[in-house]
Chains A and B, each alone.
Chain A
Amino acid sequence: MSMEIEAIKDPGLPAHVHRAADTDPKAAKKAERQVAILFLLSALGTILLISTFFFISEDTFIYLPVLGNTNAYQLFLGLGLAASLFFIGMGAIQWARTLMPDEEVVAERHEFRSPDEDRADFVATVKDRAGQAGLGRRSLIKRSLGLSLGLVGISPLLLLRDLGPLPKDDLTKTSWKAGTRLVTDPGDRPIRPEDLEVGAVAQTLPELASGEKRTLNNIGKDAVLLIRLRPEEFNLDAERLSWTHEGIIAFSKICSHMGCAVALYEQQTKHLLCPCHQSTFDVTRAAKVIFGPAARPLPQLAITIDADGYLVAKAPFTEPVGPSFWERSS
């Protein structure tokens, strides 16, 4: 800071201006009444809450502008609670503002740094005591302590081992096998190609063997979308084309980005859209990503029909479904 420039002077704290209630007993009385009214409003709020509890039935609905059809019980219970709390607060603050002393006071600050002497003393003590422990001199102790502390740190990792099983092939395998029927979700009905019109979409799952139960874990990997186009609309290589059946193509419904259900199908453009981050997949080109953060197409399931004319998987998925993970090889 260059000191040649003279700064403007601090005029100091402005003089205190008295409020009406400080000097005029009438104004003070009025302020007192205002505070009391606020506290009474709070009491009224609690009375509203109590009356609601006893006199309004829980399934009373009333129509209100803006709010629409509203449950009167929850509404008045809430308004009563709100008023009872809010006006206690308003009362207290009004009290503080009008009747409690409003003169600003000045307090001094102290510097946090201790005086040099104390500080030197403190530092010396720390050094001295650390020396008494002799950690610096006894390197054997130091090393062995370091080793044992380091090892102790490992034990929680082991103790937490049973949080879950190892992934094994769980992330790569689904329930689909060659010959598994596709069944509707919900409904669990097998599907014939003629059940799907051109342009239609169906959400399907693998058929359960009798006695098997479907868990959310299964659905999270097995959900498959069927979409029917006109066969000439496909733009696929020969292999992928052979995975379709009469214009019906099947994809994993679990987004290859972060696993949301890819639920929106736009018939006009033949795009599948994931509502989570808007990754968009082109159905005619084997669910190639045409927009959004997903980096891989949705895995395609090869399908055909069985002897009874129902749609079945021709083979399991050839790659893991769902979001990427380190061990994934493609």
Chain B
Amino acid sequence: MTARERIAGNVASYVDDRTGAAKWMKKNLTKVFPDHWSFMLGEIALYSFIILLLSGTFLTFWFDPSQREVVYEGGYAPLEGLKMSAAYASTLHISFEVRGGLLMRQIHHWAALIFMAAIVVHLLRVYFTGAFRKPREFNWIIGVGLLTLGIVEGFLGYSLPDDLLSGTGIRIAEAIIQALPLVGSYLAFFAFGGAFPGESFIPRIYTVHVLLLPGIFLALITVHLMLVWYQKHTQYPGPGRTEKNVVGYPLMPVYMAKAGGFFFIVFGITAFLGAVASINPIWLYGPYTPGQISAGSQPDWYMGWLDGLVRMSPPLETHAFGHTISWNILIPGLIVPGILFTGMALYPFIESWVTGDKREHHLLDRPRNAPNRTALGVMSLTFMIVALLNGGNDIIATNFHLTINQIMWFSRIAIFVLPPIAFIVTKRLCLSLQRADRDLVLHGRETGRLLRMPSGEFVEVHEPISPEKAWLLTQHEQNPPLALEEVDSRGVRRPGVIKNKIRARISKANAEAVPKVSVEDLKEIEHH
């Protein structure tokens, strides 16, 4: 035993003497984590959150969340002598006078973009591999919550500096609140402490941005990770991997070193971006005033799809009985996003209702083997991408010499037409990939070598694939659709016939598949 090992042993005993945690610690230190690049997406989100906490705390030391009017006398000459809010002036101060201040602002903003991107891609990974299935529905819902709060937190963050761009964003948020039927103008006046813009909003959202939401994030992330820990990670299918085991590396030391190292890499890359890539140069926009605007106003990308939906909305308003309902704001700003996010949160339950599958799943699906789910995912993505592109319609118009009118009409039609097309194409694609898998198992891999037969014709030599590969391509379950009888055993019609019909329909579409290769199929091939 080396001296070092003895010390490690002593520390472990010291801790156990005081906590009795020996058994628990041993179990957890040797806990096994499967390894795959796509499992790092959630980690990136976690690490960027930590970076946000660190860089954000740095910013709070100088940021003054006040809309009190001040006259600027700082180091940035073009704005010298201008009236502005203390919030804007202090952000200029951080950018120009605090050493490393601009770097930290840029790190904070880049970390926010990476955080949101990591959450979204992580969510897609979970969706397309079916990792949300029982028993992991709670974590799926927590994830949707984190995504939603992340959008809000990011919006509040870039609203804080009170520059011309962020003030315009707040203006739009106020209009959405104000558009709510019945309570809209009251809520807006309560939120803003009176009429827009007032002097209360930024101090208030500051508390939410640095205290309330980060607290909720911390709580949700903790539960999220505890569940991952307790339920153990899912794993991709492959030889030796089953529903009953986890194959991977132990937490200590391999996984600790890898995860810890990865944190530093994410932080390093974020710092690199903060150093070389300018982001949100608020001094170029000028201070906010409601009478001005900068052309090409763009929110951060995670808000862009909302903006795109608002932009493509038709000019619908109802005026009746002395009241106004702004459908052009409510539908794209609240109703559609509400339906999308609720649908997303409920998806695990919808799928298990359709398949009737109430079992636990720890082996991930290859997306092609769940064609309906994959197609639905690509369909939703297509919807989001059309919306996001329309959010940048002015930029696209200038870059590609189109008129905004053309892009708007394209988007208005595409948002209805492209998603269903995406569904059909993806489903087809999945089924043909299944067919390709089947061919590969049955006939082997094409080698590119040609062989001349005695008859004179050429055939390509096929090489059988390895048993590991054959297993990978055939390990998935193929379940028949639900058999929902319309009458029960006593010949009485069951209640909810229509509901059952719909369910049977979807279930049937869901079960559509190219039959996977069985041992019989292989034997048959050998006979020829």
A residues with CB within 8 A of B:
1-2, 5-14, 53, 58, 67, 71, 73-75, 77-79, 81-93, 95-97, 100-102, 104-109, 111-112, 160, 163-167, 170-171, 185, 203, 205, 216-217, 219-221, 223, 253-254, 257-261, 263-264, 275-279, 289, 291-296, 322-330
Residue contact B316 to A167, C-beta cutoff 8 Å: no
Known contacts A89-B268, A167-B185; decide if A12 and B103 are in contact (CB<8 Å).
no
Residue contact B195 to A263, C-beta cutoff 8 Å: no
Known contacts A78-B272, A261-B290, A295-B316; decide if A10 and B326 are in contact (CB<8 Å).
no
A3 to B307, CA, bound (A): 53
B449 within 8 A of A: no
Residue contact A259 to B175, C-beta cutoff 8 Å: yes
Known contacts A109-B245, A323-B179; decide if A261 and B475 are in contact (CB<8 Å).
no
Identify the 6 closest CB pairs spanning chains A and B, nearest first. Answer: A78-B275, A86-B268, A92-B261, A89-B264, A13-B240, A89-B265
Known contacts A164-B189, A219-B290; decide if A323 and B178 are in contact (CB<8 Å).
yes
* A-chain residues with CB within 8 Å of residue B516 when the two chains form the complex: 7
Chain B nearest CB from A255 CB (Å) reads 9
Residue contact B297 to A275, C-beta cutoff 8 Å: yes
Residue contact B329 to A323, C-beta cutoff 8 Å: yes
Residue contact A254 to B267, C-beta cutoff 8 Å: no
Residue contact B269 to A86, C-beta cutoff 8 Å: yes
Residue contact B291 to A261, C-beta cutoff 8 Å: yes
Residue contact B405 to A291, C-beta cutoff 8 Å: yes
* A-chain residues with CB within 8 Å of residue B261 when the two chains form the complex: 88-93, 95-96
A79 to B253, CA, bound (A): 30
B322 within 8 A of A: yes
Known contacts A8-B471, A93-B262, A294-B315; decide if A106 and B326 are in contact (CB<8 Å).
no
Mask, B169-181, CB within 8 Å of A = 1, is 0011011101111
B residues with CB within 8 A of A:
31-32, 35, 99-100, 102-103, 106-107, 135, 168, 171-172, 174-176, 178-186, 188-198, 200, 231-232, 239-240, 242-250, 253-254, 257-258, 260-269, 271-272, 274-276, 288-297, 307, 310-317, 319, 322-326, 328-329, 332, 360, 362, 393-394, 404-405, 408, 441, 467-468, 470-471, 474-475, 477-480, 516-520, 522
Question: Which applies to chain A's interface (DSSP): helix, strand, loop or mixed?
Answer: loop
Known contacts A78-B272, A107-B31, A328-B324; decide if A11 and B468 are in contact (CB<8 Å).
yes
Residue contact A294 to B249, C-beta cutoff 8 Å: no
Residue contact A295 to B315, C-beta cutoff 8 Å: yes
A74 to B276, CA, bound (A): 9
Given contacts A78-B103, A164-B193, 4 further A-B contacts (CB under 8 A): A93-B261, A185-B291, A259-B175, A293-B332
